[in-house]
Amino acid sequence: MGKIAIVYWSGTGNTQAMAELVAEGARAAGASPELFTAAQFSAEKVKEYTALALGCPSMGAEQLEETEFEPLYQSLKPVLGGKGVVLFGSYGWGDGEWMRSWQEDLESGSATLLAEPVIVNGFPDEEGGQACRQLGEKLAQS
Ligand SMILES: Cc1cc2nc3c(=O)[nH]c(=O)nc-3n(C[C@H](O)[C@H](O)[C@H](O)COP(=O)(O)O)c2cc1C
């Protein structure tokens, strides 16, 4: 089984809770995922992992968080070739546009999306939590 990194940015804890649920799902499937905030991760670390979960809420106007996460994501993109990736994040009043844009951008590169992105309104409820755990399982099975 390959190594899994779960990398997220979270301002008020909702996407962090999702990240922890993704980790829970991966552990339940037998993996030992490592969790990082955006500030703790870098492009140099990508080579240590076979699969990555990237999490960021909808910020700005349907955008990735621009100070830490967007620059990190831009630096990761060129080195994601051959990696299995899943995306997740929390949103507020929008309709998930930021995630559609993010998915489209990721799919235009060389990473393999392992599952449909998971988006949750606010804090993950039971259904959202289950979807996050399933992302973790997909990562573990990749
Ligand atoms: C500065 C700012 C901009 C935001 N922009 C959007 C947005 O464009 N669309 C949306 O659906 N929610 C938006 N939100 C709401 C957040 O996505 C939502 O509160 C989310 O749950 C925050 O996740 P977090 O707890 O992981 O930070 C915004 C929140 C903030 C603070």
* Residues 21-33 pLDDT 10s: 999 999 999 999 9
The CATH number, out of the four listed (2.60.40.10, 3.90.1300.10, 2.40.100.10, 3.40.50.360), of the domain defined by the range 4-141:
3.40.50.360
Residue with CA nearest ligand 1 atom 31: 59
Pocket of ligand 1 (CB under 6 A): 10-15, 57-62, 90-94, 122
Q: Is residue 38 predicted with pLDDT exceeding 80?
A: yes
Q: Which tokens is 24 given?
A: 């829970």
Q: Is residue 112 predicted with pLDDT exceeding 70?
A: yes
pLDDT at position 78: 95
Read off the pLDDT band of 56 (50, 70, 90). very high
Residue 64 CA to ligand 1 center (angstroms) comes to 10
- Going from N- to C-terminal start, the domains of the chain cover 4-141
Mean pLDDT of the chain: 97
Q: Is residue 120 predicted with pLDDT exceeding 90?
A: yes
Note the pTM of the prediction, 2 decimals. Answer: 0.98
Residue 11 CA to ligand 1 center (angstroms) comes to 8
Closest ligand 1 atom to Cα of 60: 3
Closest ligand 1 atom to Cα of 56: 26
Residue with CA nearest ligand 1 atom 28: 59
Residue 30 CA to ligand 1 center (angstroms) comes to 32
pLDDT at position 84: 95
d(CA 62, CA 30): 35
Which residues 6+ apart lie within 8 Å of 28 measured at CB? 133, 136, 137
pLDDT at position 1: 67
State the SS3 of 37-84: EHHHCCHHHHHHCCEEEEECCCECCCECCCCCHHHHHHHHHHHCCCCE
Read off the pLDDT band of 45 (50, 70, 90). very high
What is the average pLDDT across 128-142? Answer: 96
Q: What percent of the chain has pLDDT over 70?
A: 99
